[in-house]
Chains A and B, each alone.
Chain A
């Protein structure tokens, strides 16, 4: 399948989850996207899945304390300045579950995009393709660099713990990114980047399944808006 068609499908699933009004439908979409993400290697998918899971869980926990809806309390707590009376109602829990599952679905759609799609082919026809492709690599590269610094420090008997410990790595991370950027710029120039008359790999023709994916994407959004 062409990456553009796959992006349309992922975007449609994320949109359907945002349009859904029932937790079970947002949950079903999130589950499908989770299974898609499992196709990525374990080491690479971990960070994305963890980030999505933590964000969704945080939203689920905080929503009942921030929202004030419903008349069926499950728990009533103290009065807190600014927030007022703390309570958790059935309606707030349902709303929290729906929002958390929507966020999970959007996060997982992005994870599938980042982990499984061929960004080079996706951005091939776009003018800013090269900087965009390099930007796509920035996060995994920073992640690898940070892990490398932590490992080298552990190899010298120094454990990096807590936010403060990790904050000390920001400066070396920035410096190594700048150094890598310079080296990469040099290598790109040596490989003819910036020369006039650039061509590109012919893009694959659109096939039936690509059109089918686009149609499915439109259908998913419509179903999300009307029935989910």
Chain B
């Protein structure tokens, strides 16, 4: 018998016009690793939530069909009762951390499901060791990086020893080696896993089966090789971005960093003697492991941080797109939000919204947009100021392949207008867009 079974599930969120899932039928066997692919708004997260019982219990809405997990109908048992059998890790680790210390946080779920008190601590430590985070046990969560928080969330899920592990874009904040190690680790647990992803290459290597959702419909339920063939024939952008046509013409120097050093804590430099030059027309990718100082360097380039030592020369205006798109929800309307950077000029704002495909949403509240749409709103809010130095920090996080192709095209076609610095873990995107790549953390002194 299948561990989880979804039968003809159609679900519509309260106040939504169209269903998020339509007639979806799928089964998940014990120990099976399932990659769940689909664009933003395709219904991936909704399906994950249906398997956890959160749809419909937490969200309400109209639910037709049936979902069974471990023989239990999710309409009759609450998500809290399913916890332990099912464990979930959602997209943003910061929004699922409950307690203040790592060990207590990992213990939280175990306490809720009534684990005998003398078993809790050993299981907490076992889970932390499994994700390579045992050294974090006594640390306050407020001091952890995004990558470390993601490990803690996975440890909290694994500590429950679930039979079904649900992961919603779990590697979005991890550098490539750490993301690979993370997926290896999940594969090695022997627990049935559903991983919702928008970067398919890595998860396909670890999957036993692939599901592809589009507009709430399940289009593909196949073995990885068959799914790849289908993607190659029907959704080519999911298997890679088109190659860059040609190198940009390098113009005058716009930004020059000389021997720049920066430390958040005295004696622990994040940047140490960095040299960097950005010229008009070029797109430079900045990569490197988590914690290597990429975002810090980007903020120095954009003028958001002043270096402790060294100099920064910048000609013209700099603008930076930060990682978290919810920081671009200050105004009550989408067009007002974009116009904020250009003194309230709505015409310029509308042009920028058109550039990222958000024209139809100009009178909506920014918080009514989906996460993918918020990413584009943030980009429009930065592009509208027409910067001479454009700094983008992880612009493809949470962005589906189709939008990624569009973003790559946008950056390439407008590259001649500015110098662009792109901070990214997305090697494929960097290869498709950047004229050169700087590896921070490997050659920190001279780039």
Residues of B within 8 A of A (CB): 52-54, 57-58, 78-81, 83-84, 86-88, 90, 92, 95-96, 98-101, 104-105, 107-118, 120-121, 142-143, 156, 160, 264-266, 302-304, 317, 319-322, 324, 326-330, 340-341, 367, 378, 381-382, 385, 387, 391
Closest chain B residue, CB of each to CB of A185 = B58
Contact indicator B326/A179 (Cβ below 8 Å): yes
Given contacts A130-B98, A155-B322, A201-B121, contact A195 B112 (CB under 8 A): yes
Which A residues touch B112, using CB under 8 A? 191-195, 198
Q: How far does the alpha carbon of A176 sit from the alpha carbon of B92 in the complex, in Å?
A: 14
Contact indicator B109/A137 (Cβ below 8 Å): no
Q: Do most interface residues of chain A lie in helix, strand or loop, or is the interface mixed? A: helix
Which one of A148, A169, A189, A198 has the greatest number of beta carbons of chain B within 10 Å? A189
Contact indicator A156/B340 (Cβ below 8 Å): yes
Which A residues touch B329, using CB under 8 A? 172, 175-176
Q: Which 8 A-B pairs have the closest CB atoms?
A: A192-B83, A192-B112, A187-B96, A120-B104, A152-B327, A155-B320, A197-B114, A156-B341
Which B residues touch A44, using CB under 8 A? 142-143
Contact indicator B58/A118 (Cβ below 8 Å): no
Partner of A183, one of B96, B118, B120, B160: B96
Q: Say how far B445's CB is from chain A's closest CB, in angstroms.
A: 25
User: Among residues 146 to 181 in chain A, which have CB atoms less than 8 Å away from a CB atom of chain B?
Assistant: 148-149, 151-158, 168-169, 172, 175-176, 179-180
Interface size on A, residues (CB 8 A): 50
Contact indicator B264/A201 (Cβ below 8 Å): no
Q: Do most interface residues of chain B lie in helix, strand or loop, or is the interface mixed? A: mixed
Q: Say how far A165's CB is from chain B's closest CB, in angstroms.
A: 11
Contact indicator A172/B330 (Cβ below 8 Å): yes
Contact indicator B83/A152 (Cβ below 8 Å): no
Partner of B100, one of A119, A191, A201: A119
Given contacts A156-B381, A156-B385, contact A201 B98 (CB under 8 A): no
Q: Say how far A227's CB is from chain B's closest CB, in angstroms.
A: 37
* Residue A200, interface by CB 8 Å: yes
Contact indicator B58/A158 (Cβ below 8 Å): no
Given contacts A43-B264, A156-B319, A192-B84, contact A198 B104 (CB under 8 A): no
Contact indicator A199/B116 (Cβ below 8 Å): yes
Closest chain B residue, CB of each to CB of A147 = B327
Contact indicator A157/B317 (Cβ below 8 Å): yes
Partner of B81, one of A185, A195, A202: A195
Contact indicator B341/A158 (Cβ below 8 Å): yes
Contact indicator A189/B385 (Cβ below 8 Å): no
Q: Say how far A118's CB is from chain B's closest CB, in angstroms.
A: 5
Contact indicator B83/A195 (Cβ below 8 Å): yes
